[in-house]
């Protein structure tokens, strides 16, 4: 049993962490921080946790995070990098669900996130927490940079093709759609019901913060820089990401066999039969990525469909998966939930 703390427990990823960790047989929730809700009962804010989480929110400067074995940062970008050093020095292992340590180039990070990085010297130590790629490094990591939601869906969909060297890596296209919970639990005009409902739109076409993260991961897999066009879209649903990925074939192979072999031992990646159509509700509330391959008209373009729940495999579920690996638990512990239908 390990003692767990959560910094920033009032957002969507925070409450998703609470839902998963409250059911985890090897994790004991000890502290949950919030500046605005300090003193309030967690279950009063989130009635779904009544009878499961009896803690109250604590102000960050009063939280005994150093007494925890593991701390999750479910905070806005720029928060974790100011607090992680003291936790690591105290022997705490950290999983950051924000973007503070995802990019290896501090200048690139500052360009895309618009602020000075407060702890660039810690970036080399941070392990990028995509278990399907970095499982062995995660085992011994003190600091894990949990991947973004779009980057998880896109990278898992592209990786077998990139690693095999069978497709053109200079002209990759990722067309991805996300539910409104991906924007976080804050009041913004574009996520208001009357704005997002019965509507569909692209955003960040000129450049989205997740682009350099995806490009970094795919370039590492390719052993060279890749060319990628990434266009995200907002859809009128609460949860889910659907990524439609395009790659030009350069060398023929049985691509279905390639994907099945690559993910055969991965508990949270489901390669569906060829020409299937995975949908977001098939992964709702589960830590699963479902993938299907298509070859339209038998041409030279491969289409990969990749779906995840942005709050689970795209955030909190993957963070718990990383925690399991870090502490030597079975990777699936606390993550065996069956997707919710309808």
Kindly give the interhelix angle for 317-326 and 12-21, rounded to the nearest 10 degrees: 50
Cis omega before residue 25 (within 30°)? no
Catalytic positions, written as ranges: 149
Extended beta strands in the chain, E state: 2-7, 27-33, 57-58, 70-73, 93-96, 127-128, 143-145, 172-178, 201-202, 228-234, 241-248, 269-271, 289-294, 301-308
Domain layout of the chain by residue ranges: 2-125, 149-310
In the predicted model, what is the mean pLDDT of residues 200-227? 97
Residue 88 is predicted with a pLDDT of 98
Q: Specify the pairing of strand 93-96 against strand 70-73.
A: parallel
Q: Are 180 and 238 in contact (CB under 8 A)?
A: yes
Residue 74 is predicted with a pLDDT of 97
Residue 153 is predicted with a pLDDT of 98
Q: The whole model's pTM is what?
A: 0.97
- The string of pLDDT tens digits covering residues 264-293 is 999 999 999 999 999 999 999 999 999 999
What pLDDT band is residue 296 in, cutting at 50, 70 and 90?
very high
Of the candidates 100, 98, 91, the one whose C-alpha atom is nearest the C-alpha of residue 142 is 91
Class of domain 149-310: alpha beta
- Pairwise pLDDT comparison (213 vs 182), residue with the higher score: 213
pLDDT at 200 over 80: yes
- The string of pLDDT tens digits covering residues 107-163 is 999 999 999 999 999 999 999 999 999 999 999 999 999 999 999 999 999 999 999
d(C-alpha 207, C-alpha 149), whole Å: 16
Give me the CATH topology for the region 2-125: Rossmann fold (3.40.50)
Residue 204 is predicted with a pLDDT of 95
Residue 185 is predicted with a pLDDT of 82
Burial 144-155 (b: 16+ CB within 10 A, else e): bbbbbbbbbbbb
Would the CA dihedral through 122, 19, 10, 148 be positive or negative? positive
In the predicted model, what is the mean pLDDT of residues 75-101? 97
């Amino acid at each position: 049993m390990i003692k767990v703390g959560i910094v920033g427990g009032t957002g969507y990823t925070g409450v998703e962490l609470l839902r998963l960790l409250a059911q985890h047989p090897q994790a004991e929730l000890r502290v949950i921080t919030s500046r605005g809700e300090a003193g309030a009962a967690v279950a009063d804010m989130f009635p779904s946790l009544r009878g499961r989480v009896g803690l109250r929110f604590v102000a960050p400067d009063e939280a005994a995070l150093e007494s925890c074995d593991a701390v999750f940062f479910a905070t806005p970008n720029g928060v974790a990098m100011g607090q992680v050093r003291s936790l690591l020095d105290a022997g705490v292992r950290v999983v950051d669900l924000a973007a503070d340590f995802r990019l290896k180039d501090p200048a690139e990070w500052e360009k895309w996130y618009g602020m000075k990085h407060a702890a660039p010297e810690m970036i080399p130590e941070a392990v990028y927490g995509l278990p399907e790629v970095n499982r062995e490094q995660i085992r011994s990591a003190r600091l894990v940079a949990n991947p973004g939601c779009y980057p998880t869906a896109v990278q898992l969909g592209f990786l077998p093709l990139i690693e095999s060297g069978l497709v053109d890596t200079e002209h990759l296209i990722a067309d991805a759609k996300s539910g409104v919970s991906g924007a976080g639990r804050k009041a913004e005009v574009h996520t208001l019901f009357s704005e997002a409902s019965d509507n569909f739109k692209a955003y960040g076409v000129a450049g989205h913060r997740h682009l350099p993260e995806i490009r970094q991961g795919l370039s590492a897999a390719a052993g060279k820089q890749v060319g990628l066009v990434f266009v995200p879209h907002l859809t009128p649903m609460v949860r889910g990401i659907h990524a439609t990925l395009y790659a030009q074939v350069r060398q023929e192979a049985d691509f279905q066999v390639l994907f099945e072999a690559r993910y055969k031992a991965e508990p949270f990646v489901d390669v569906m039969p060829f020409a299937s159509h995975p949908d977001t509700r098939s992964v709702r509330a589960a830590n699963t990525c479902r993938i299907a391959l298509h070859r339209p008209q038998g041409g030279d373009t491969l289409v990969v469909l990749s779906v995840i729940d942005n709050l689970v495999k795209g955030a909190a579920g993957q963070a718990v998966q990383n925690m399991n690996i870090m502490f030597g638990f079975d990777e699936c512990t606390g993550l065996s939930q069956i997707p919710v239908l309808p």
